[in-house]
Amino acid sequence: MVRRCIASSLLNDPHKGKVSSCCCRTQCWKFIKERLSIKTLAKETSPMRILFLMNDEGSPPGVLLEETEAQGYRPSVLVPYKNISHDPDLPGAVPTTPDGFDGLVVLGGAMSILDEADHPFIDPTRQLMRSFDAADKPVMGVCFGAQLMADAHGGRVKPLGHTEWGFLPQSWLPAAQDDALLAGSPPNLPLMQWHGDTFDLPSNALPLSTRPGCAGQAFRIGDFNWGLQFHLELDQPTLLNWARLHAEELKEDPAPHVAQMERDIAAYHKPQADFARTVMSRWLDVCLNAKTGR
């Protein structure tokens, strides 16, 4: 069965009772413990606190988290579908209010909004995205997060009819050239994709990028909400794990997929990571400006 958003979970899916055969469970948890722990007083007294919602443990925040830490801000990372918190000050459930946070990043997940009845954390996340918007606090949605953003603001999520997979070039629209995050982005930049759902944009959304066969790629709603269908956040180990998982879905030998991904990483990962750092740095500036302007 084609997954409707990103990859597959590296761990058990408690909703479907399936177990991934991915070999990197230990590495995934090592990443989470090392990167998401709050180790210094500087983090604890940071002027900004950014909430990350991980909707699949096989899809960590990667470069986006690294840039948040590099800027000296405090990340708080929750895994709502497993009720896990990597912040000692928070429970694992989706917060009911944006109070105490200055920005929200909703990441990808193997679930679909079309299967919302199976995933009780989806509606609280939708409500939280709306609450951040009402409070003029910035939100970034990645893949599933972008789809949920469109849905939260009146758009419609629907099956794409095929799976977008791999590093695929973006066609930036004219509005992107004046966008706070995307201005000056390299033309035809290949960015990683894995999803089988798409969306009709809400009436108040400004499209920023498109692709043949999947028009919904990047958009902005108002001054503080960005939806990004592509996976700009991924690090190299996650990309290689995805290649194995994709081969499993296709019931094919994983070796050629991993070999191809290694070639793609060599060609495309650094430009994607540089793009992700630029986008995240600019988004954090938006968060800071919004905070100081309130």
Mean pLDDT computed over every residue of the chain? 87
What is the radius of gyration, based on Cα positions, of the chain? 18
Q: Residues with Cβ < 8 Å from 230, sequence gap 6 or more?
A: 142, 143, 168, 170, 191, 192, 193, 217, 218
Segments in 189-269 forming alpha helices (H): 236-250, 254-264
At residue 294, the pLDDT reads 67
Residue 230 zone, left/alpha/beta (φ > 0; ψ -120 to 50; rest): beta
β strands within 134-252, DSSP E? 139-142, 156-169, 171-172, 190-200, 205-210, 218-221, 225-228
Q: How far from 74 is each of 42, 69, 77, 86, 87, CA to CA, in Å? A: 8, 7, 10, 12, 10
Confidence band for 3, pLDDT divided at 50, 70 and 90? very low
Pair 257, 243: CB distance under 8 Å:
yes
At residue 198, the pLDDT reads 97
At residue 18, the pLDDT reads 32
Domain boundaries, the chain: 25-293
At residue 249, the pLDDT reads 85
pLDDT tens per residue across span 20-63:
333 333 344 444 545 544 433 334 445 799 999 999 988 999 99
| Higher per-residue confidence, 210 vs 294 | 210
Q: Residues with Cβ < 8 Å from 168, sequence gap 6 or more?
A: 190, 191, 193, 211, 230
At residue 193, the pLDDT reads 96
Angle at CA of residue 291, ends 287 and 294, nearest 5°? 135
Q: How many residues does the chain have?
A: 294
Pair 46, 74: CB distance under 8 Å:
yes
What's the whole-model pTM score?
A: 0.86
Structure-token pair, residue 167: 């590093």
- Residue 64's nearest CA partner among 262, 289, 231, 264 is 231
At residue 13, the pLDDT reads 35
Distance, in Å, from the CA atom of 184 to the CA atom of 48, rounded to the nearest integer, reads 26
- Residue 137's nearest CA partner among 195, 97, 186, 192 is 97
At residue 25, the pLDDT reads 37
Please tell me the number of Cα atoms within 13 Å of 98 on its side-chain side.
22
Assigned CATH topology for domain 25-293: Rossmann fold (3.40.50)
pLDDT tens per residue across span 226-283:
999 999 999 999 999 999 888 888 888 989 988 999 999 999 999 999 999 999 999 9
